[in-house]
């Protein structure tokens, strides 16, 4: 299955899942199973699946055919090139292609001059008025392609301006852009581009990151410390006629392989194999030449040959546009699409569905607990009512008095229950403080000071190491504190269960230590800037400021995720208390109502016993239905799923909302 087809299937599964989840929420609400924790988990699951993005970053030096490859894989359906890929017209600035339904089709461009200011790229995203804006007509391929030529625009500036913008370095002349006869340096006109179009794949959550060459990558910290590391796959493009050049190897080592496990998500494309198609050579000789170049590239980059894929993007695009199957096979483009499908989509789907299955399992446990409470209360009522058979009115009156007293005693002892919540919240404040934005700023103070010092920053590597050591220690401290809270909750819930007959169970403790892996990845992506090669860049105050702002932005996302886990944990514990308090009060009401009915009519006792028997059967059906529905949600995609007993009007509205 090609990447495009598998992505289509993945999108269909996500839409189906989101609809089923909405229907499940309505069904649970109609059966009074939707407490605060269950509702929060449902919302998070729906948001996670609906907003799931798959980012594929295309990275290469100039003139490797990167934009042509993007055209061939994703935009051949337009019947022409969409991304600029002709000679002398190539992507000059990092370009993101995605889809946001709240934004009309448009191209947004951030002027290169914003590099002279210290704001991180993420901060500029929040200031839309600073971006140039061009409307796009997705139904007019010619207008679309013409508009997207803007990403290839350049400016000519003095060497001083080029140095300030990060494109010129007197110590590394070989890496500098060319200088014209007028002494001016050619630099990109734009710093970053955002393309929002309703392409079918982009609508389903695909994000394409098109990056320019080494010079532009190294000058933009957020590309290497944030965007590229967060991509689910990186496609690195080489030219088949040159193999791995010095600048190719520099990009690979400095920006793409900063950790031991990152090569797994890297695909290398040996593009332009059509340049090796020689009329004087036999097909076997041409294939041998391609195989040698493939083996050599794999060895230099330290990859298995299976991750180096020979392709002709130009011939692949031509073949798709002209529907030439033989040329398409010769271009080997289907091999790359298959590798993307099996690798990127296969892994992404596996991770997402595993996460979803875990969330659904927790959801089932939480909802099942509410049903269990009702079942236990019904059993107690049944025993109580059966004990009244054959008893006179004095015994029944005594039972009424006893229930009233139990309710009074329960209300009076409510302070114990609220004391548990109070202690819980007090202990949680320490965890929230450890994961808060103010605490993160404190931990980054030393590093920020070190990076802001003028001149050569000899101690910055040590400052990085100490900063990340403190961050890891903070996470570990938060984990220990959450462990203490978990122990307190377990003991308190056990005591409340014994005293009030509750069935409280401490929710699963958040695993904050797992965020250490994300910290390690962020640290690795930053350490590349601490080499001797980047000493001069780090000596520039504006570059250092952007670097530390990019770091703070990335770390804040990690800490917000950790905080979110703690908040869900807290809500799960609190909602259990609320649910069991609510059910207990309802139970008192139902017991008193039953006694009153028995007192008013001789047949009331048997009727009430019969009603409870029916309610017990209904609870059995409820738990069976819950198990069935959640099993389908956690199971294989696109399989037939059971219908929910919801009003037709509600179902129709949910279908429309989801669509």
Residue 372's pLDDT is what? 82
Residue 522's pLDDT is what? 85
What is the band of 397 on the pLDDT scale with cuts at 50, 70, 90?
confident
Residue 541's pLDDT is what? 65
What's 453's DSSP letter?
Answer: S
What is the band of 534 on the pLDDT scale with cuts at 50, 70, 90?
low
Average of per-residue pLDDT across 190-198? 92
β-pair type (185-188, 154-157): antiparallel
Residue 315's pLDDT is what? 95
> Nearest-5° angle of CA 144, CA 149, CA 153?
155
Average of per-residue pLDDT across 451-462? 71
β-pair type (308-310, 190-196): unpaired
Model pTM?
Answer: 0.73
Lowest mean pLDDT among 372-381, 468-477, 641-650: 641-650
pLDDT surpasses 50 at 640: no
Residue 89's pLDDT is what? 61
- Percentage of the residues of the chain whose pLDDT score is greater than 70: 86
Higher pLDDT, 565 or 424: 565
Lowest mean pLDDT among 413-427, 493-507, 510-524: 413-427
pLDDT surpasses 50 at 638: no
Residue 236's pLDDT is what? 93
pLDDT surpasses 80 at 538: no
pLDDT surpasses 60 at 549: yes
Q: Tell me the chain's radius of gyration from C-alpha atoms.
A: 31
What is the band of 55 on the pLDDT scale with cuts at 50, 70, 90?
confident
Quote the tokens at residue 357: 């299955």
- Encode pLDDT of 305-359 as tens digits: 988 999 999 999 999 999 999 999 999 999 988 888 777 767 777 777 777 888 8
Instruction: In whole angstroms, give the CA distance from residue 232 to residue 349.
Output: 11
Residue 410's pLDDT is what? 79
Residue from 72, 68, 61 nearest 3 by CA: 72
Instruction: In whole angstroms, give the CA distance from residue 225 to residue 521.
Output: 9
DSSP per-residue codes, 57-105: EEEE-TTS-HHHHHHHHHSGGGTS--S--STT----S-EEEE--TTS-S
Instruction: In whole angstroms, give the CA distance from residue 312 to residue 266.
Output: 19
What is the band of 392 on the pLDDT scale with cuts at 50, 70, 90?
low
Lowest mean pLDDT among 62-71, 211-220, 409-418, 562-571: 211-220
Whether 52 contacts 76, CB under 8 Å? no
List 108's β-bridge partners, or say none. 133, 194
Mean pLDDT of the chain: 82
User: Is the dihedral angle over the CA atoms 39, 42, 48, 51 positive or is it negative?
Assistant: negative
- Encode pLDDT of 457-475 as tens digits: 667 778 888 899 999 999 9
Average of per-residue pLDDT across 41-61? 83
pLDDT surpasses 80 at 643: no
pLDDT surpasses 70 at 49: yes
Lowest mean pLDDT among 141-150, 452-461, 647-656: 647-656
Residue 327's pLDDT is what? 95
What is the band of 642 on the pLDDT scale with cuts at 50, 70, 90?
very low
Residue 601's pLDDT is what? 62
Residue 215's pLDDT is what? 58
Residue 552 backbone class (left: φ over 0; alpha: ψ -120 to 50; beta: rest): alpha
Residue 497's pLDDT is what? 85
Residue 72's pLDDT is what? 92
List 453's β-bridge partners, or say none. none
Lowest mean pLDDT among 52-66, 314-328, 384-398, 637-651: 637-651
CA distances (Å), origin 132, targets 100, 151, 153, 485, 604: 18, 12, 13, 51, 77
Higher pLDDT, 476 or 546: 476
- Encode pLDDT of 153-188 as tens digits: 988 999 888 888 878 777 666 667 778 888 898 888
pLDDT surpasses 90 at 294: yes
pLDDT surpasses 80 at 597: no
Instruction: In whole angstroms, give the CA distance from residue 254 to residue 107.
Output: 30
CATH level 2 (architecture), domain 53-153+189-331: 3-Layer(aba) Sandwich (3.40)
Residue 196's pLDDT is what? 94
- List all residues 6 or more positions away from 645 whose beta carbon is below 8 Å from its beta carbon: 27
């Amino acid at each position: 299955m090609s990447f495009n087809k598998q992505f289509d299937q993945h999108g269909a599964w996500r839409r189906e899942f989101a609809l089923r989840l909405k229907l499940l929420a309505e069904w649970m609400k109609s059966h009074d199973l939707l407490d605060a924790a269950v509702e929060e988990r449902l919302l998070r699951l729906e948001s996670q699946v609906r907003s799931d993005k798959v980012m594929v970053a295309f990275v290469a030096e100039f003139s490797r055919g990167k934009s042509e490859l993007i055209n061939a894989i994703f935009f051949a359906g337009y019947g022409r090139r969409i991304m600029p890929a002709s000679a002398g017209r190539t992507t000059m600035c990092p370009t993101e292609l995605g889809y946001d339904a709240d934004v009309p089709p448009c191209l947004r461009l951030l002027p290169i001059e914003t590099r002279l200011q210290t704001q991180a790229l993420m901060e500029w995203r929040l200031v839309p008025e600073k971006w140039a804006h061009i409307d796009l007509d997705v139904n007019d391929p010619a207008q679309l392609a013409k508009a997207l030529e803007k990403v290839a625009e350049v400016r000519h500036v003095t060497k001083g301006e080029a140095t300030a913008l990060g494109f010129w370095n007197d110590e590394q002349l070989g890496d500098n852009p060319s200088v014209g006869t007028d002494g001016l340096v050619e630099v990109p006109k734009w710093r970053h581009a955002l393309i929002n179009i309703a392409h079918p794949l982009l609508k389903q959550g695909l994000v394409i990151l098109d990056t320019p060459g080494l010079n532009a990558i190294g000058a933009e910290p957020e590309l290497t410390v944030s965007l590229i590391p967060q991509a689910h796959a990186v496609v690195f493009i080489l030219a088949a006629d040159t193999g791995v050049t010095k600048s190719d190897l520099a990009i690979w080592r400095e920006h793409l392989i900063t950790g031991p496990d990152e090569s797994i998500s890297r695909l290398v494309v040996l593009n332009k194999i059509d340049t090796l198609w020689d009329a004087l050579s036999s097909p076997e000789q041409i294939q041998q030449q391609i195989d040698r170049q493939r083996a050599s590239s794999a060895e230099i980059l330290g990859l298995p040959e299976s991750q180096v894929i020979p392709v002709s993007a130009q011939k692949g695009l031509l073949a798709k546009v002209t529907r030439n199957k033989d040329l398409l096979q010769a271009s080997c483009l289907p091999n790359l699409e298959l590798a993307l499908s099996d690798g990127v989509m296969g892994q992404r789907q596996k991770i997402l569905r595993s996460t979803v299955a875990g969330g659904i399992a927790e959801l089932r446990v939480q909802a099942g607990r509410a049903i269990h409470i009702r079942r236990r209360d019904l059993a107690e009522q049944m025993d109580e009512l059966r004990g009244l058979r054959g008893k006179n009115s004095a015994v029944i009156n005594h039972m009424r008095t006893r229930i009233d007293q139990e309710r009074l005693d329960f209300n009076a002892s409510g302070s114990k229950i609220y004391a548990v919540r109070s202690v819980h919240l007090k202990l949680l404040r320490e965890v929230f403080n450890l994961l808060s934005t103010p605490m993160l700023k404190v931990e980054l103070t030393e590093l920020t000071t070190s990076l802001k010092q003028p001149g050569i920053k000899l101690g910055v590597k040590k400052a990085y190491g100490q900063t990340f050591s403190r961050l890891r220690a903070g996470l570990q401290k938060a984990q220990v504190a959450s462990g203490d809270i978990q122990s307190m909750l377990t003991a308190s819930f056990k005591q409340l269960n014994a005293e009030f007959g509750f069935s409280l169970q401490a929710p699963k403790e958040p695993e904050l230590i797992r965020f250490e892996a994300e910290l390690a990845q962020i640290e690795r992506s930053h350490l590349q800037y601490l080499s001797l090669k980047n000493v001069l860049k780090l000596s520039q105050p504006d570059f250092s400021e952007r670097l530390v702002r990019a770091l703070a932005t990335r770390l804040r996302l990690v800490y917000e995720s950790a905080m979110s886990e703690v908040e869900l944990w807290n809500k799960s514990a609190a909602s259990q208390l609320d649910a069991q308090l609510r059910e207990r009060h309802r139970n008192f009401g139902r017991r008193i109502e039953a006694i009153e009915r028995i007192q008013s009519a001789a047949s009331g006792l048997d009727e009430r016993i019969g009603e409870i028997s029916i309610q017990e059967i209904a609870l059995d059906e409820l738990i069976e239905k819950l198990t069935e529905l959640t099993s389908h949600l956690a199971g294989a995609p696109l399989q037939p799923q059971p219908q929910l007993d919801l009003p037709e009007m509600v179902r129709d509205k949910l279908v429309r909302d989801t669509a």
